[in-house]
Amino acid sequence: VSVATCPICGKPTDAKFRPFCSARCADVDLHRWLTGGYSIAGEDEEEGEGRVSPNDPDETV
């Protein structure tokens, strides 16, 4: 029996969020794809310079 693990955090996969363990990790993976963040290691992806979302509400002060 092989237990699938989340590629983001390594926890056991949840059937509802395969291949991830949670919606959060699924979102993290999606975000990485959208921003090309796979090339970044050890950086806070939320603050990455590679973001190209001028309409992102999180950027507004």
Q: Which residues bind Zn ion (CB under 5 A)?
A: 6, 8-9, 11, 21, 25
Give me 27's structure tokens.
């979102």
Per-position DSSP letters for 32-52, written without gaps between them: HHHHTGGG--SS-GGG-TT--
Give me the least distance between CB of 32 and Zn ion, in Å please.
13
Q: Which is nearer to Zn ion, 8 or 40 (CB)?
A: 8
Contact (CB, 8 A) for 5 and 14? no
Q: Which is nearer to Zn ion, 6 or 35 (CB)?
A: 6
Give me the least distance between CB of 49 and Zn ion, in Å please.
25
Give me the least distance between CB of 25 and Zn ion, in Å please.
3
- Tell whether the torsion through CA atoms of 41, 12, 33 and 28 is positive or negative: negative
